[in-house]
């Protein structure tokens, strides 16, 4: 799994980092709320472990911002606030689970694993994706914009599907290379830009209103 931990307590974040890495998982750790929100919206994670009390931006604000933008990455809230009202507030803000500090690492690990598996099952159940008037049927692989049916090559379809599955998130070129081309290195070519240009032309998006370029980061489909 690839995890993001947004936690300003150095001992807690080090504890999580050590345990998760020993379990074979990749973990990014951020101690500041604004930095955490930036990382959560510009990279793809299987689960986010989010502290409620953070400098610059609190955990509930981060969570509400993520959900408001369409980002559905599973979030496990961590907090010393353990009253029923605190847990309800966190869950209603969009949290998928809530764990009170102090906690046992085994319980944290179990909860993260459950969230990851649940997310994978939910993503597999999706049969249709949409952005504005553009619709992708994943079963028939039929693409329609308005009333027009669009024909795409396999690579173009996979590229569009990946972008739409991550709607509301910035998708980096590295992510696209790994997911669509199965490259785990940078081939030092403009292959992604070429395919994005072709895809935009085929779906009538030459002005980039559907597939938006985020300068220096990658691409994003907003709605």
Last residue of a domain, one of 81, 104, 125: 125
CATH number at residue 59: 3.40.50.2300
42-97 pLDDT per residue, tens? 888 999 999 999 999 999 999 999 988 878 899 999 999 989 999 999 999 999 99
Query: Higher-confidence residue: 5 or 44?
Result: 5
User: Is 141 found in the same domain as 118?
Assistant: no
CA dist., res. 174 & res. 183, Å (int):
8
Q: What is the pLDDT of residue 19?
A: 94
Q: Poorest-confidence range of 31-35, 107-111, 179-183?
A: 179-183
142-169 pLDDT per residue, tens? 999 988 999 999 999 999 999 998 888 8
How would residue 175 be classed by pLDDT, with cut points 50, 70 and 90? confident
Last residue of a domain, one of 106, 125, 144: 125
Neighbours of 55 (CB within 10 A): 11
Give the residue from 15, 219, 210, 23 showing the smallest Cα distance to 116. 23
How would residue 123 be classed by pLDDT, with cut points 50, 70 and 90? low
Residue 124: pLDDT above 60?
Answer: no
User: Is 19 found in the same domain as 83?
Assistant: yes
Last residue of a domain, one of 77, 96, 125: 125
Query: Higher-confidence residue: 124 or 180?
Result: 180
Q: Work out whether strand 47-51 and strand 2-6 pair parallel, antiparallel, or are unpaired.
A: parallel
Q: What is the pTM of this model?
A: 0.61
DSSP letter string, the chain:
-EEEEE---HHHHHHHHHHHHHTT-EEEEE-SHHHHHHHHHHS--SEEEEESS-SSS-HHHHHHHHHHTT----EEEEES--SHHHHHHHHHTT-SEEEESS--HHHHHHHHHHHHHHHHHHHHH--EEEETTEEEETTTTEEEETTEEE---HHHHHHHHHHHHTTTSPEEHHHHHHHHS--SS--SS-HHHHHHHHHHHHTT-TT-SSEEEETTTEEEE--
Domain of 14? 2-125
User: Is 65 found in the same domain as 144?
Assistant: no
User: Is 110 found in the same domain as 32?
Assistant: yes
User: Is 140 found in the same domain as 211?
Assistant: yes
CA dist., res. 153 & res. 131, Å (int):
19
User: Is 114 found in the same domain as 14?
Assistant: yes
Cα–chain-centroid distance for residue 114?
Answer: 17
Q: Poorest-confidence range of 8-22, 122-136, 188-202?
A: 122-136
The single residue listed with the structure tokens 């994003």 is 220
Residue 22: pLDDT above 80?
Answer: yes
Mean pLDDT of the region 116-120 = 78
User: Is 169 found in the same domain as 118?
Assistant: no
User: Is 67 found in the same domain as 10?
Assistant: yes
Residue 36: pLDDT above 70?
Answer: yes
User: Is 78 found in the same domain as 43?
Assistant: yes
Q: What is the pLDDT of residue 144?
A: 95
């Amino acid at each position: 799994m690839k995890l993001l931990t947004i936690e300003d307590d150095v001992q807690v974040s080090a504890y999580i980092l050590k345990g998760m890495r020993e379990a074979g998982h990749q973990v990014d750790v951020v101690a500041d709320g604004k930095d955490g929100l930036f990382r959560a919206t510009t990279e793809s994670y299987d689960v986010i472990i989010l502290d409620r009390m953070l400098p610059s931006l609190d955990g509930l604000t981060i969570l509400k911002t993520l959900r408001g933008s369409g980002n559905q990455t599973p979030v496990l809230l961590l907090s010393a606030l353990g009253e029923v009202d605190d847990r309800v507030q966190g869950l209603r803000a969009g949290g998928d689970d809530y764990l009170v500090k102090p906690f046992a690492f085994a319980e944290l690990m179990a909860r993260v694993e459950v969230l990851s598996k649940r997310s994978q099952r939910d993503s597999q159940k999706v049969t249709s994706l949409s952005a504005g008037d553009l619709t992708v049927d994943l079963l028939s692989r039929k693409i329609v914009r308005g009333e027009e049916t669009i024909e795409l090559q396999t690579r173009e379809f996979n590229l569009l599907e990946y972008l739409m599955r991550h709607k509301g998130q910035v998708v980096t070129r590295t992510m696209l290379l790994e997911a669509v081309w199965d490259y785990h290195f940078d081939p030092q070519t403009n292959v992604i830009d070429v395919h994005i240009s072709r895809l935009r032309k085929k779906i009538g998006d030459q002005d980039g209103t559907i597939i938006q370029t985020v300068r220096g980061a990658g691409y994003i489909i907003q709605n």
